[in-house]
A and B are shown apart, each in its own frame.
Chain A
Amino acid sequence: MHEFSIASSLAETLLDLAKKQGSTKVLEVYLKIGKLRVISLDQLTFSYEIVAKGTILEGSRLTIEETAGSVKCLNCNYTDKFEQEDLSFHFGIPPMICPRCGANLILEGGDECLITKVRMLAPSTVAESSEA
């Protein structure tokens, strides 16, 4: 359940951001999370609801975009999309050996864990006119 720690960290960042923007209500939060992260999106959403309770985040919706990674060979530039290799495990990563030249592959992308957009209620604008 490390998703709870992640949700707490997310909430802290959002509260900080809302404060800076002067907003009193966060409505929607857009995240980008890579498929290679060990993060359960259901648990993250559930934890977020709990952490958000009683704050200006309460009731805000998480919209999560999942990003896939790719493998790349540094030797011959072979690239391929990251595919789940063995669905019986629900998760797997491809052999990290280049099928073309046999060199080691590296993973690229698929490890994002980002807040990309926050929709919030506009702050009340206070215009002060002095008589000087």
Chain B
Amino acid sequence: MAKHVDVVTSSEGEVFDVELEVDILKENQRLANENRARLESNGVHAIDVMGSVGSGKTSLIKAMVSQLKKSFRIAVIEGDVTTTIDSDLIASEGVPTVQVNTGKECHLDANLIRKALDKIALERLDLIFIENVGNLICPAEFPLGSDRRLVVISVTEGPYMVVKHPMMFLDAQVVAINKVDLAAAMEVDPNKLRADVARLNPKANTVYTSCRNGTGVADVVEKLGLNRR
């Protein structure tokens, strides 16, 4: 059967424009929304814990878990570049823990959290802490689907952590200024850090903490709205 096909190729230099308005990070946002819906349908609160390297994120989570595990069914997702050091530490509290190693990435993303949630029996939980990779810059660009954000900094990082990383503090409900027991030795004024947070985000609750002696942990719990079920 004879059948002929006319082929017209565009000549070189023939171009066309497609006008659009697409969010470059829409895929992450879509997955974050999915995570959020999944958590909500199971009645699970998720708290994104962000902060600089060595600020005490894991220690603060461990202290909160220790305080809350009698009244809440808790799981912890631990994000790191590598190792299971943090999840081993949290697992010693006897709560389910998932380690997410990003390999080379400096932040968690919604897809990694989706996979971590697959490993957790959400219907048997009330609360999840998600510890992000230690970093005050990159995680701000990747929402995960959590419903509250806790940012942890410490006096040992010096007096400029807040002013240098303003974006990280804009969406935080609670900011913990950790290691306050070392403030005098570090010659860092925690009140100055608190004032810096208040300038950026007047709605944030700033709490002074020391995970070493337990200072402020109950206050962080309360400010996160977790003091009672």
Contacts and interface: CB of A to CB of B under 8 A. Distances in A.
A96 B199 CA distance: 6
A5 interface: yes
Interface string B1-18: 011111111100011111
Interface in B22-58: 22-28
A128 B5 CA distance: 5
The range of chain A's interface size is: 35 or more
Contacts of B94: none
Q: Could you tell me the dominant secondary structure of chain B's interface residues?
A: mixed
Contacts, number: 121
Contact of B18 (A12, A37, A120, A129): A120
Nearest to B107: A2
A93 B200 contact: yes
Contacts of B15: 27, 119-122
B28 A124 contact: no
Given A39-B141, A96-B201, A115-B24, A129 B4 contact: yes
Given A9-B28, A38-B138, A104-B203, A125 B17 contact: no
A93 B197 CA distance: 12
Interface in B154-181: 163-164, 166-167, 170
The range of chain B's interface size is: 35 or more
A64 B48 CA distance: 31
Contact of B24 (A92, A113, A127): A113
Interface of B: 2-10, 14-28, 105-107, 109, 137-138, 140-142, 163-164, 166-167, 170, 199-203
What 10 pairs between A and B have smallest CB-CB spacing? A2-B138, A122-B10, A124-B9, A125-B8, A95-B199, A127-B6, A115-B22, A93-B166, A122-B14, A118-B18
Interface of A: 1-2, 5-6, 9-10, 12-13, 17, 21, 27, 31, 36-39, 86, 89, 91-93, 95-97, 104, 107, 113-131
